[in-house]
Amino acid sequence: MHILLRHALKAVLMAAAALLVGQSAHAQLKCAVPGEWAVPGRGTITPAEILSRAAREPVVLLGEVHDNPDHHRWQLQTVAALAALHPKMALGFEAFPRRVQPVLDRWVAGELSEQAFLKAVDWREVWGFDPAYYLPLFHFARINRIPMIALNVDDSLPREVNARGLQAVPPEKREGITQPAPAPEAYLDLLYKTYAEHPDKSRSSRKDPEFRRFVEAQLVWDRAMAQAIAERLARDPGTMVVGIMGSGHISNGYGVPNQLRDLRVSGIASLLPWNADSDCRTLSPGLATAVFGLPESREHAPKPRLGISVETSPKGVRVAGVMSGSLAESSGLKVGDILLEAAGTPIKKAGEVKPIVDSVAPGTWLPLKVLREAKNLEVVARFPLDSKTD
Short-list 132, 8, 133, CA closest to 65: 133
DSSP codes, 174-204: TTT--PPPPPPHHHHHHHHHHHHTSGGGTT-
Q: Mean pLDDT over residues 82-96, rounded?
A: 97
Instruction: List all residues 6 or more positions away from 60 whose beta carbon is below 8 Å from its beta carbon.
Output: 54, 82, 240, 241, 242, 243, 268, 269, 271
Q: Which amino acid is at 260?
A: L
337 has pLDDT over 80 = yes
Shared domain check, 175 and 50: yes
Q: In this structure, is residue 302 part of a structural domain?
A: no
Domain boundary among 240, 259, 294: 294
Angle at 322 between CA 317 and CA 327, to 5 degrees: 105
Q: Structural domain of residue 323, as residue ranges? A: 308-382
Q: In this structure, is residue 160 part of a structural domain?
A: yes
Shared domain check, 133 and 20: yes
For the segment 220-271, what is each residue's pLDDT rounded down to a tens digit?
Answer: 999 999 999 999 999 999 999 999 999 999 999 999 999 999 999 999 999 9
Q: In this structure, is residue 221 part of a structural domain?
A: yes
The number of domains in the chain is 2
- Please state whether 146 falls in left (phi above 0), alpha (psi between -120 and 50) or beta: beta
Q: In this structure, is residue 29 part of a structural domain?
A: yes
What pLDDT shows up at residue 133? 95
CATH number at residue 314: 2.30.42.10
Task: Compute φ and ψ for 90, nearest 5 degrees.
Answer: -135, 145
> Which of 96-100, 107-111, 379-383 has the least mean pLDDT?
379-383
- pTM for the structure as a whole: 0.78
Task: Compute φ and ψ for 119, nearest 5 degrees.
Answer: -70, -40
Q: In this structure, is residue 17 part of a structural domain?
A: yes
CATH number at residue 140: 3.40.50.11550
Short-list 360, 341, 366, 367, CA closest to 352: 341
Shared domain check, 122 and 40: yes
204 has pLDDT over 80 = no
Shared domain check, 219 and 181: yes
Shared domain check, 350 and 283: no
Q: In this structure, is residue 66 part of a structural domain?
A: yes
Domain boundary among 294, 329, 351: 294
Report residue 249 CA to chain centroid gap: 8
